[in-house]
Structure 1
């Protein structure tokens, strides 16, 4: 399976979020390192894995979710 890697700006354009929102709010709370993104060669640059993000976005809509005060979600 071939994966699609996106920069923060490309992901922001694709999901209609501001790049700063992705970096400051979604990263490490909703988007998890190792599942949704990685840092190639141990550097500062972040590449997002589009197929994993898309799968989790569509799955979260059909499950029961409890919003948490810090912006996360608990799937009860």
Structure 2
């Protein structure tokens, strides 16, 4: 069975070395997708991030992104090059 690590926004901020505001305003819903990288337990307001999904897609984006091109991670794990 695969174990997943759930992080709050503050914990993710420490792990990624990004400001909490940057995660909430710039990453969430643009590169961090609900249902893939985070979810809201029991339909509430609290957000839990799935570390393994974030780590996987960060690595995929950095290895698939040619210089000078923007890459958009897709829910399937693929990357759309713009």
| TM-score interval, smaller chain | 0.7 to 0.9
Structure 1, unaligned runs of 5 or more: 68-72
Moved over 4 A (4+): none
Taking the aligned partners of 1:64 and 1:18, their CA distance within structure 2 comes to 24
Taking the aligned partners of 1:20 and 1:61, their CA distance within structure 2 comes to 23
Taking the aligned partners of 2:33 and 2:6, their CA distance within structure 1 comes to 15
Using the size of structure 2 for normalisation, the TM-score is 0.81
Do structure 1's residue 41 and structure 2's residue 3 form an aligned pair? no
Q: Residues 7-53 of structure 1, C-alpha deviation per residue, up to 9 Å, x if partnerless?
A: 00000000000001100110000000000000000000000000000
Do structure 1's residue 54 and structure 2's residue 49 form an aligned pair? no
Of the two structures, which has the highest relative contact order with CA contacts closer than 8 Å and spacing of 6 or more? Answer: 1
Number of residue-to-residue matches in the alignment: 71
Using the size of structure 1 for normalisation, the TM-score is 0.87
Task: Map residues 12-31 of structure 1 onto 2, 5 A cutoff.
Answer: 12-31=13-32
